[in-house]
Amino acid sequence: MVVYFCQWIIAVYLLNICCIDGHNDQMWVKYRNKDFMLVHQQMTWMEAQSVCYSLGGFLATVSNSDEMKLIKSMTNVHPNTVWLGGTDMFAEGRWVWIENLEPISYNHWYTSSHEPSGGLAQNCLIWYNSNGYFWHDGSCKSTFKFVCQR
């Protein structure tokens, strides 16, 4: 546990020193009353949430198709999988946004693949841009790039 915590502290420190400056408004993309930022450092869902929190925000929520299009445009440049702020870690099958623990009303689950499908092993929301930008549930311990919101 101590080793994991030390690795996490070092990762957050290095991310803030060399990779992003959360106080640099040019790194944030403004959309209505929200700001979004794609972070290219790969982290677990909890580490990503901690970094977003340290930048004055949280992992991104998607409230409507317009926000989804904006985040899609941010992630389209670098094909990959990214973390968003959805989770069912508090109650299996009850997906909420980590920002406010409100149920996810707008969604883009990959229903052809019966997503979310991971049960107790997959409690965090990932967005694959390789299959039409559908949402999937994934293991929170996996590492991906992520989108912060403030």
Does residue 143 lie in a domain region? yes
In terms of Cβ atoms closer than 10 Å to its own Cβ (0-12, 13-18, 19+), residue 62 is buried
Does residue 144 lie in a domain region? yes
Does residue 17 lie in a domain region? no
pLDDT at res. 118: 67
Does residue 7 lie in a domain region? no
pLDDT, averaged in runs of 10, over the chain (150 residues)? 50 48 70 93 97 96 93 76 95 94 91 69 87 88 96
Does residue 15 lie in a domain region? no
- Considering the entire predicted model, what is its pTM? 0.79
Tally of domains within the chain: 1
Q: Kindly report the CATH number assigned to the domain that includes residue 96.
A: 3.10.100.10
CA atoms within 13 A on the CB side of 92: 6
Domain that holds residue 52: 28-149
Does residue 4 lie in a domain region? no
